[in-house]
Amino acid sequence: MSGTWRDPLVGRDLLAGSAFGVVVACLFMLAVVAPAWFGGGPGILGMADWNLLRLGSLGFLALVMVSVITAPVYAFTFLLLFVFLRLILRNDRATWVIWVAMLAGPFLSGGGEMWWVTSPILAVAYLLFVLTFRRLGLFAVTAGSAVLVILLSNPITLDTSAWYAGYGFAALAVVAAIALYGFKTSLAGRRVFDLADV
């Protein structure tokens, strides 16, 4: 907030938040496909805005901007919910447990007959939210939420013949750029490999 975007701690939180966002996005997608492995139908995670993507590069830029704008809203909402629960319960552990249950509850209640497959995956995803909040703070969760929404709102496929494949690769490039900026900033001007130390 003070404008010190070149601070190594900002870079560290941005890099860790990016990793957090990528892992949680993978867990959400795993919760979608895992039920099919046990004889159930695949879940639904329909965040991609196909109408925007049909607009071309402008639609993709709009999705990225929406992701960046909504990420602080998600992070502050999570924080406000935690503070509210902490005031009521007056116990950190109970607050974290109820907080995770409230965040995961809407997804778990829609899990249907395969809830026993999706529940552990989503529990791990929301536990990562808890750990990131506790260890790194609000900015890391904000960065992770932006990465998460960018990845989930763009269809990512290895089928390069699909008309939407380019958007998925562009989304991965944006996430990689965010992570690389965080990595470079966290070094505080030091070299990655310094031959003088060898």
Banded pLDDT at 147 (limits 50, 70, 90) = very high
pLDDT at 198: 47
Output the six-digit token pair for 113: 């007959």
Residues 6+ apart with CB under 8 A from 147: 17, 18, 20, 21, 22, 25, 175, 178
Contact 148, 25 (CB under 8 A): yes
Q: How many CB atoms lie within 10 A of CB 190?
A: 8
The number of residues making up the chain comes to 198
Output the six-digit token pair for 183: 């990595």
For tokens 């999570």, name the residue.
Answer: 78
Q: 107-130 burial, b if ≥16 CB within 10 A, otherwise e?
A: bbeebeebbebbeebbeebbebbb
Average pLDDT over residues 79-85: 88
Average pLDDT over residues 46-71: 78
d(C-alpha 76, C-alpha 83), whole Å: 10
pLDDT at 152: 87
pLDDT at 172: 93
Banded pLDDT at 25 (limits 50, 70, 90) = very high
pLDDT at 75: 87
Nearest C-alpha neighbor of 60 from the set 183, 194, 155: 155
Quick one: what percent of the chain has pLDDT higher than 70? 82
d(C-alpha 68, C-alpha 45), whole Å: 20
State pTM to two decimals: 0.82
Banded pLDDT at 96 (limits 50, 70, 90) = confident
d(C-alpha 184, C-alpha 161), whole Å: 34
